[in-house]
Structure 1
Amino acid sequence: MKFMNKAILLLLTSIALLAVSCDDYLDKQEDEAMTFDKIWTKRATTLQYFYNVWGFMPTESNWVDENPWIGASDEATCTYNRDYRYMNNGSWGPSTVPYNRYMHYYQAIREANIFMQNIDRCSAKDVNETEKKLWKVQARFARAYYNWLLMRMYGPIILVKDELVDFNQSMGALQRPRNTWEECVEYVCGELAECAKELPASPTTNDDYGMPTKGVCYAVIGRLKLYAARPLFNGNELYKNVKNPDGTNLFPVAYDKELWKEAADANYEVIKLGQYELYDTGDPVESYRGVGLVEWNSEIIFARWEGGYYNRVHVTPRVVGGTSYGGIAPTQQLVDAYAMSNGRYPITGYNADGTPVVDAASGYIETGTSAFVNPVHGYDVPNGSNRNMFKNREPRFYATVFWSSDWWGYGTGNWVNPVFGFNGNSGPGASHDYPKSGYMCHRFYDHTKNTNAGYWGNLTFPIYRLAETYLNYAEALNEYYGPSHPDILTYINKIRKRAGVPDLETVYPDCKTSQTLMRELIRKERRVELAFEGQRYFDTRTWMIAEETDGGQMWGMNTSAVCPNVSTTPEDFWKRTAFETRIFTSKHYLYPFSQRELDRNKLLTQNYGW
């Protein structure tokens, strides 16, 4: 059994037994010293505390209830009535903070500190010193990681570090300001670097999968350094007046090009380990799908292993039957982002009415039908006439995007044709569980499992993987050295080769001399390669393009088109239609601190615009 399963199974027991958690680092708790001392006398209770430390880790694949990284991004729409709707319609703020994890992660940091400061006193005879040392460094990693999770939401945070806050102090004694962004980056990266010195290079037992290794530490540093170099945190003019009460600037006030070199070097640390390789079976579709479906494959650096239900039930069309809430879908913007099989990106922009500006050299055809086979399953649609807009697209498109009336498999010999038009078998009318854009995401759905019968399989959801590191590295090299650095094309083309598309310079020869074009192409490649992994939400924000990409109309097909019967998609369905208008302004780049925290800590500076 994998480690994270053990953590989940024991979590309720550990919480009830330990009762030492707090709402957040400013809350008070009762003194339970006698019970606390007994924890460290037995292996079982010591491990339960350890599992409790790790039990705060987010479930990144739960796109509905755990986080807004999919539902509030421009790559997707989620039909359910959840808090990401506040983010999309602009009605959130300090009094309404969707998916507020501020208290949660400070609680996690406190638990990690308690464990680290007490594990050495464990007197259980069946716990050896090697185990104590490993558990301690794993808890140290978790503490650094929780700080990082706060930073990606709020920017500069309050660094508690090793401190165990005395909850018997007066509230006034607990007032403290935020640390600067630079201090936060230095602290988290320093902690992870120290962890890397003591952690193994790879898992040595089944229980080690899902736990940190040297590569995991380097990968987190690499992403953090990349974010630090991007416009949001690198001399952002919007934040020049965001200061602590003593006048200290919380964000860097000047652009620093050297941060890109730091990002490149940090990501190369992962590459030169030689510990990981792109998962490649020789079949581009199966290789790409295998990244999420083949457990602990060669590309995974850090992942969460779990049952597939919570992710897959929300991308299963209703017509499949059983428990099926299919309502998570790619937007038309994401559908348009995929290249053609010749490697060219077909859509270069949009007219005022939402119609696409098409690159004629790509071979893309927006209208009409023709017969062609979807490489995911090897069949044409039932009437032998697929839509031209889906013809000759790159393999990752087919591995991710499912369109109305195509074949959906669920287990051996089970096939249906979901229809997303009004009153269709999986569209609006009879239920609110339908994809608002008229597409479905099936990237992490295992079509070999009969979900109608409740077989959901397992999921090793990638949190950090090698392809991202390649993209991080290429982006940083382009920004620091320019497009001529040879490693840029080397690593971008590794990804494209696995995806079954031509080398970048073959399709776009000018990319070798234009930094602007190379930047655009790296961002396009990143968008499709990492689709539905929770990256796009942060990418558009740290690049500071979200006011353009995440605000305004979101497009899809016309799900209001009435179906002549439940099994037929009407012709009117195949019309680009705005299903939602979203609001994104400059204040939305970072989360607001809740009004509760501002009221309790008078030294806490609110983020820009809130």
Structure 2
Amino acid sequence: MKKLLIYTAGVLLLMGNNGCKKFLNQVPDDRLTFDQMYERKSTVDQALANIYSTLPDQNYDRSASGLGNIGPWTAASDEADYTLPNFTESVNTGAWDATTGQVNYHWQNYYRGIQAASSFMANVTRCTDCNIGGIDIINRYYNEAKALRAIYYYYLIRQYGPVVLLGNDPIASDAPLEAISKPRSSMDECVDYIVSELDAVIAKLPATPQASEDYGHINASVAEAYKIKTLLTAARPLFNGNTDYAALKNSDGKQLINQTYSVAKWTRLATAAKAFLNNPNYANYALYTVSSVPTSNPVTPNTPFNRAFIATRDVFLNGWNSEIIFGRGGDVTFYQYSLAPNHNGATGGDKGGSFLSPSQQLVDAYFTANGLPIENDPTYSASGTSNYQAPDPNDQGTPRSISNMYVNREPRFYANITYSGRKWINTSSNIVTSFEFNGNAGKSAISNTDYSKTGYTSRKHLTVAGWSAGRSIFTMIRLAEIYLDYIEALQESNPSDPDILIYLNRIRSRAGIPVYGSGGIAVPSNMRDAIRRERRVELAFELDRYFYTREWKIAETTDTQIRGLNITQNAPGFYTPVVIENRVFQKKHYLWPIPNGEIQKVPVIVQNTGW
């Protein structure tokens, strides 16, 4: 009998270093045949879950390019650094190349997912009991797999640029190398293929989840959201008329990245985003807000500022709320441990690793409570201290002396950043965190790497019961991101469109800061910069910034160093920002190299420029 195997995809993975692997490790290979796998819904469900497992899992962020198919997107950007050693150190020092194992890790994983999806699509009709309940499960699962295959191509192109399109049929495990050797398709061809595949499934899948078991599955709104993300990557300067890649051609002279800038790519994106936002089937999506703040003693004032703080915090904690388009379930505590400070003498969820250290650049990027950048607000001061009442419901009635850097900042700042003098997030704890050298989370008493490099830790995605308490999902796509994609596209294609201010102000209003224009503050003269600033803070720690700086070709400026506080001193010297890490970023780093082993096996695959 023919055993069911998941083969590494085609020429790119079939001959990979890991060879072939069992499709489902939990099923012994002498108990399940290929035909049996697709006969019953129970095993079909397992096969589909196997395809979904390729989706990147942010829970493993600190094990970048080693677990969970998650890359070094957080700490190889200017958002943060990890104290715990991982692959981001290699990226940030330039000590990686086409032979590095992590380069191959993502390439193989995504092509493995693509091949698994193609095999599933070719065989799911064998199922004998999938449609017994009156629901066309076969076609639904078929289209979910088709969408996932397109989504994995999207993840590949934003990391490696133009890739090899394998076609719609699964690659036979015994196909000869010469029969399946293919060159890279152009970037435009890759984008058009992904978009066409997603368009094909949108009309065939439910618009949104119809029942509790549908959450976490691909539906039409998720497919449309990934279409928008694909078009965004295609429209930005990295792939839109980038002459730095003039020499990136296949051996037959085929240009892989179009050398002519096209505003039509921005228009295409704007059209797709507007269609999403105007789709009546998606009318239940809305920015997450709250009408009141949690009860506390002393009472937390039910002010717009405090409501904005709760909303921008809990949108990531309150499960599948109105803003969440797509998310991934499973464990989150591995990630949350990195966020919790290593509080001396604490236990359980109050004592973490302090690994994920936000940069001073990110801290400075948050607006003031007046809705202004810190450099434009005359009320802001980086020196001295003041007594300040933070919006935390577990810390009311106790203004604390903190650095003026943290006084009167916007609600998202308090929702995302743990700083010295802040009450710890756990509502059952009385800890006030200090990252000063001799503080309760300071470096002085820590002999290993369990301290913050920058004098901050992140608290975005962190439950209010400490790191050891779980939550239902990791958010992957939410409505605010669609808003930001839409207004970015409009700014580049039709900058006079009034929707720019409308949707930008919706984000600012939910964030609890003054809107631009009537009744608020002056409309920025540089709207591109205003959109960029808003995106940076709204999507911080959501795996966006790394790709933003690369796709906009600004990483050579933004990604050269990480600044933080002087963790070797107590106050006042502690509050003097210093360079924590100098980084190496060269032009070639805008794209990852194609794994060297793949090029050796298939010489028709050309390497990315500079590698």
Is this a same-fold pair by TM over 0.5?
yes
After superposition, the Cα gap between the structure-2 partners of 1:387 and 1:434, relative to the gap in structure 1 and judged at 3 Å, is same
Q: Is the CA contact (8 Å cut-off) linking 1:284 and 1:499 kept in structure 2?
A: yes
Aligned to 1:9: none
Matched, 1:88 2:92: yes
Matched, 1:389 2:405: yes
> TM-score normalised to the size of structure 2?
0.88
Unaligned 5+ runs, structure 2: 23-28, 64-69, 292-306
RMSD: 2.2
Q: Is the CA contact (8 Å cut-off) linking 2:516 and 2:523 kept in structure 1?
A: no
Cα distance in structure 1, aligned partners of 2:433 and 2:21: 55
Instruction: Please give the secondary structure, in 2, of the residue aligned with 1:307.
Output: coil
Instruction: Please give the secondary structure, in 2, of the residue aligned with 1:182.
Output: helix
Aligned to 2:267: 261
Cα distance in structure 2, aligned partners of 1:382 and 1:420: 20
Instruction: Please give the secondary structure, in 2, of the residue aligned with 1:462.
Output: strand
1:335-389 superposed Cα distances (whole Å, 9 cap, x missing partner): 000111111101xxxxxxxxxxx33x44210100111111124648989421111
Cα distance in structure 2, aligned partners of 1:204 and 1:30: 35
After superposition, the Cα gap between the structure-2 partners of 1:248 and 1:575, relative to the gap in structure 1 and judged at 3 Å, is same
After superposition, the Cα gap between the structure-2 partners of 1:122 and 1:45, relative to the gap in structure 1 and judged at 3 Å, is same
Q: Is the CA contact (8 Å cut-off) linking 2:339 and 2:355 kept in structure 1?
A: yes
Matched, 1:500 2:500: no
Task: Report how far residue 44 of structure 1 moved.
Answer: 2.0
Instruction: Please give the secondary structure, in 2, of the residue aligned with 1:461.
Output: strand
Cα distance in structure 2, aligned partners of 1:604 and 1:388: 55
Task: Report how far residue 421 of structure 1 moved.
Answer: 2.7
Aligned to 1:330: 358
Matched, 1:436 2:453: yes
Q: Which AA in structure 2 matches 1:494?
A: R
Instruction: Please give the secondary structure, in 1, of the residue aligned with 2:485.
Output: helix
Cα distance in structure 1, aligned partners of 2:102 and 2:489: 32
Match of 2:437 among 409, 413, 422: 422
Which stretch shows the higher mean deviation, 264-273 or 488-497? 264-273
Task: Report how far residue 504 of structure 1 moved.
Answer: 2.0
Match of 2:473 among 439, 460, 470: 460
Cα distance in structure 2, aligned partners of 1:250 and 1:399: 42
1:199-221 superposed Cα distances (whole Å, 9 cap, x missing partner): 11111122110111211111111
Which stretch shows the higher mean deviation, 44-53 or 177-186? 44-53
Cα distance in structure 1, aligned partners of 2:399 and 2:529: 39
Task: Report how far residue 71 of structure 1 moved.
Answer: 1.3
Aligned to 1:580: 581
- Paired residues for 1:179-578 under 5 Å: 179-273=185-279, 274-282=283-291, 283-319=307-343, 320-322=346-348, 324-346=352-374, 358-359=375-376, 361-377=377-393, 379=395, 384-412=400-428, 414-429=429-444, 430=446, 431-447=448-464, 449-451=465-467, 455-482=468-495, 484-505=496-517, 509-511=522-524, 514=525, 517-551=526-560, 553-561=561-569, 569-578=570-579
Instruction: Please give the secondary structure, in 2, of the residue aligned with 1:509.
Output: coil
After superposition, the Cα gap between the structure-2 partners of 1:382 and 1:491, relative to the gap in structure 1 and judged at 3 Å, is closer
Instruction: Please give the secondary structure, in 1, of the residue aligned with 2:58.
Output: coil
Task: Report how far residue 60 of structure 1 moved.
Answer: 2.7
Shift >6 Å, 4+ stretches: 30-34, 380-383
Cα distance in structure 1, aligned partners of 2:101 and 2:94: 11
Q: Which AA in structure 2 matches 1:62?
A: Y
Task: Report how far residue 173 of structure 1 moved.
Answer: 3.0
Aligned to 2:297: none
Task: Report how far residue 261 of structure 1 moved.
Answer: 0.6
Aligned to 1:134: 140
Instruction: Please give the secondary structure, in 1, of the residue aligned with 2:210.
Output: coil
Which stretch shows the higher mean deviation, 383-392 or 430-439? 383-392
1:393-451 superposed Cα distances (whole Å, 9 cap, x missing partner): 11111111111232103243x1212222335332324231111111010011112x254
Task: Report how far residue 98 of structure 1 moved.
Answer: 3.3
1:71-105 superposed Cα distances (whole Å, 9 cap, x missing partner): 11101111111111111111111012536310111
Q: Is the CA contact (8 Å cut-off) linking 2:130 and 2:136 kept in structure 1?
A: no
Percentage identity across paired residues of the two chains: 36
After superposition, the Cα gap between the structure-2 partners of 1:575 and 1:596, relative to the gap in structure 1 and judged at 3 Å, is same
Aligned to 1:26: 14
Cα distance in structure 1, aligned partners of 2:433 and 2:418: 9
Cα distance in structure 2, aligned partners of 1:164 and 1:547: 40
Q: Is the CA contact (8 Å cut-off) linking 1:381 and 1:405 kept in structure 2?
A: no
Matched, 1:75 2:103: no
Cα distance in structure 1, aligned partners of 2:156 and 2:590: 14
Which stretch shows the higher mean deviation, 133-142 or 50-59? 50-59
Task: Report how far residue 575 of structure 1 moved.
Answer: 0.7
Q: Is the CA contact (8 Å cut-off) linking 2:587 and 2:610 kept in structure 1?
A: yes
Cα distance in structure 2, aligned partners of 1:409 and 1:477: 39
Q: Is the CA contact (8 Å cut-off) linking 1:303 and 1:460 kept in structure 2?
A: yes
Aligned to 2:62: 64
1:102-144 superposed Cα distances (whole Å, 9 cap, x missing partner): 0111111111111100111223477567111111111111111
Cα distance in structure 2, aligned partners of 1:115 and 1:240: 38
Cα distance in structure 2, aligned partners of 1:125 and 1:309: 35
Q: Which AA in structure 2 matches 1:338?
A: Y
Instruction: Please give the secondary structure, in 2, of the residue aligned with 1:63.
Output: helix
Cα distance in structure 2, aligned partners of 1:230 and 1:293: 31
Instruction: Please give the secondary structure, in 2, of the residue aligned with 1:519.
Output: helix
Cα distance in structure 2, aligned partners of 1:125 and 1:258: 43
Cα distance in structure 2, aligned partners of 1:406 and 1:20: 50
Task: Report how far residue 459 of structure 1 moved.
Answer: 4.2
> TM-score normalised to the size of structure 1?
0.88
Q: Which AA in structure 2 matches 1:528?
A: V
Q: Is the CA contact (8 Å cut-off) linking 1:554 and 1:581 kept in structure 2?
A: yes
Aligned to 2:594: 593
1:133-165 superposed Cα distances (whole Å, 9 cap, x missing partner): 111111111111111111111111101121322
Task: Report how far residue 29 of structure 1 moved.
Answer: 5.3
Q: Is the CA contact (8 Å cut-off) linking 2:424 and 2:430 kept in structure 1?
A: yes
Q: Is the CA contact (8 Å cut-off) linking 1:242 and 1:608 kept in structure 2?
A: yes
Task: Report how far residue 224 of structure 1 moved.
Answer: 1.3
After superposition, the Cα gap between the structure-2 partners of 1:362 and 1:485, relative to the gap in structure 1 and judged at 3 Å, is farther
Q: Is the CA contact (8 Å cut-off) linking 1:93 and 1:592 kept in structure 2?
A: yes
Which stretch shows the higher mean deviation, 47-56 or 495-504? 47-56
Match of 2:108 among 103, 110, 113: 103
1:255-293 superposed Cα distances (whole Å, 9 cap, x missing partner): 001111111111112211223100011410011011101
Which stretch shows the higher mean deviation, 127-136 or 148-157? 127-136
Q: Is the CA contact (8 Å cut-off) linking 1:25 and 1:110 kept in structure 2?
A: no
Instruction: Please give the secondary structure, in 2, of the residue aligned with 1:77.
Output: strand
Q: Which AA in structure 2 matches 1:204?
A: Q
Cα distance in structure 1, aligned partners of 2:369 and 2:466: 31
After superposition, the Cα gap between the structure-2 partners of 1:251 and 1:383, relative to the gap in structure 1 and judged at 3 Å, is same
Q: Is the CA contact (8 Å cut-off) linking 1:326 and 1:440 kept in structure 2?
A: yes
Aligned to 2:300: none
Which stretch shows the higher mean deviation, 369-378 or 174-183? 369-378
Cα distance in structure 1, aligned partners of 2:582 and 2:222: 38
After superposition, the Cα gap between the structure-2 partners of 1:450 and 1:479, relative to the gap in structure 1 and judged at 3 Å, is closer
Q: Is the CA contact (8 Å cut-off) linking 1:226 and 1:263 kept in structure 2?
A: yes
Which stretch shows the higher mean deviation, 466-475 or 322-331? 322-331
Cα distance in structure 1, aligned partners of 2:469 and 2:234: 38
After superposition, the Cα gap between the structure-2 partners of 1:285 and 1:29, relative to the gap in structure 1 and judged at 3 Å, is closer
Instruction: Please give the secondary structure, in 2, of the residue aligned with 1:505.
Output: coil
